[in-house]
Structure 1
Amino acid sequence: MSEAPQKYTPRPMSNTTTYALGGVAIVTIALVVLLVMRWSNDEADVRNDGYGVVHNPAVVSVLAPDGTVLLGRVDAAKTIDVYEDPLCPACGLVERVYGQEIAQKIDGGELAVRYRFVNFLDPRSGSKNYSTRAVAANECVAEAGSGPVYAKFHELLFVTDQPEENKDDLTNQQLADLAREAGAGEEVVRCVGSGAKVDAATANAKATLDQLNGLLDGKAATPAVFDGPTRLDVNNENWVVDVTG
């Protein structure tokens, strides 16, 4: 992956960072990194900066048997699907730029999000299984049901504390500390720290990857956002407004 000059910050509306996987046998899949960026001296534009994460207590998190995490109010008008890998820097960029705008829409009942997690970047983590362990941690936190707590944990995982590829990542204890920082109870913290859901997360991430490959003609890529069968262009700076309009 190309390294950008440190004095520059990419403008997210004009860049696309996509991780694509092709092939049938997972063990033989080659990771292809496509990087297209236009650099600017300006800071990246964060949508609705200052709003913060979801804070409406009416927002809940629901963990489905397949590992999908639904975040939203029960009366949400629209639900979208977001496919992410916890180590994917482009996923982190999308969360950093649009996360607060999405949070406001979720709090207002205009939007709910189904987060669907894959783990194909495990080999690019220092521990070689970080993505899987982070997916498991998401499942622990989501299962408790608090939307604001889950939203804060998700923000810490993808924005504030996301590890870099091919470098040290977070231990289970560090993931548990993030869960506690997000406001999770001690039972949830123990679930994360013990890796209780790692086996389930492994199976769920594999099934989700298969699903994403089906949607993208065998070329699974993250981040991928869908409104029903339609893939949304997250490089369109108004995509959140458009999907809730």
Structure 2
Amino acid sequence: MGKGAREATARERIAAQRQADRRKDRHRRLATMVTIGTIAVLAIGGGAWYAAARDTAEQQAAAAELAPTTVNADGTVTMARPGVTAPVLDVYEDFQCPACKALEESSGPTIKNLASEGKAKVVFHPITIFSMEPTKSNSVRAGAASRCVTQGAHWPAFHDRLFKEQPSETVEGFPLTDLVAWGKDAGITAPDWEKCVTSQKYAQTQLTQSDKVIREEKITGTPTLKLNGKDLDSNVAFVPNKLRQAVLAAGK
């Protein structure tokens, strides 16, 4: 093989490698939006559909008007008016998941408002879906910190702050010192709050419980919303008015 041919072959190999690297990078970035190999966002059509959903987002009820919130022993959190047991809206979410942040920005107020109005019993399931770094560790830190919140009155504000401060999926985020500070901003005054967060007391519990929930509830992506045990399509979950109508219909 002549020198020119060898150089051409080398250039082709380099070009092929670069193309492969670009594909890997796209796959890596896409993987941050998936769980167990399934895309979580499910077609937000070039951003236009999501933008429309955000435009129709409801005004969230004031903190004092939110339904009573109970932190359960298994890490789930229930938001419901006394005596309201149905319909049940289960929200499976990961604080590091960009699609979950998108849901929070579009339908988060509707979810909380439905509980506030006594139209639904809402159960939040903060789980860790990521297996790659740094997203896995970011998720675990946030999820473990949320398990340190023992008073329901403070949980919604901390929950919302975590999504507001969600880091990029390509960097290390949710620093422990920030998690402590955000909890204090949310009104948490428990003497063991800082130690619980900084020691990551519930990190392993977060991972173990997440694996159990994903397996038992057959969670294939986040966010996942289930209404009376049945998965809601993303075209309903991400559109506030459609979500409201679905819940109201389930309550009849």
| Alignment correspondent of 2:243 | 239
Change in Cα spacing, 1:116 to 1:239, as seen in structure 2 (3 Å) is same
Aligned-partner Cα distance in 2 for 1:32–1:48? 26
Q: Does structure 2 conserve the Cα–Cα contact (< 8 Å) formed by 1:180 and 1:186?
A: no
Match of 2:205 among 200, 205, 208: 200
Matches within 5 A, 1:50-69: 51-52=60-61, 54-56=63-65, 59-64=68-73, 66-69=74-77
- Count of residues in correspondence between the two structures: 211
Quote how far apart the aligned CAs of 1:68 are.
Answer: 1.9
Aligned-partner Cα distance in 1 for 2:186–2:34? 28
Matches within 5 A, 1:24-173: 36=43, 37-40=45-48, 44-49=54-59, 51-52=60-61, 54-56=63-65, 59-64=68-73, 66-76=74-84, 77-125=86-134, 128-141=136-149, 143-146=150-153, 149-158=154-163, 160-173=164-177
Q: Deviations over 1:34-56 (max 9, x none)?
A: 7632334967324213x356433
More helix by share: 2
| Alignment correspondent of 2:34 | 19
Q: Deviations over 1:97-142 (max 9, x none)?
A: 111122222222222221123212252426x51211211112111x
Change in Cα spacing, 1:156 to 1:229, as seen in structure 2 (3 Å) is same
> Normalising by the residue count of structure 2, what TM-score does the alignment of the two structures yield?
0.72
Corresponding letter in the other structure for 1:152? A
> Normalising by the residue count of structure 1, what TM-score does the alignment of the two structures yield?
0.74
Change in Cα spacing, 1:168 to 1:129, as seen in structure 2 (3 Å) is closer
> What's the Cα RMSD here?
2.8
Could you tell which deviates more after superposition, 104-113 or 89-98? 104-113
Percent identity of paired positions between Structure 1 and Structure 2: 26
Structure 1, gaps ≥5 residues long? 3-16, 23-30
Change in Cα spacing, 1:122 to 1:186, as seen in structure 2 (3 Å) is farther
Structure 2, gaps ≥5 residues long? 1-24, 27-31
Corresponding letter in the other structure for 1:234? S
Quote how far apart the aligned CAs of 1:228 are.
Answer: 2.3
| Alignment correspondent of 1:12 | none
Q: Does structure 2 conserve the Cα–Cα contact (< 8 Å) formed by 1:83 and 1:116?
A: yes
| Alignment correspondent of 1:210 | 215
Corresponding letter in the other structure for 1:69? V
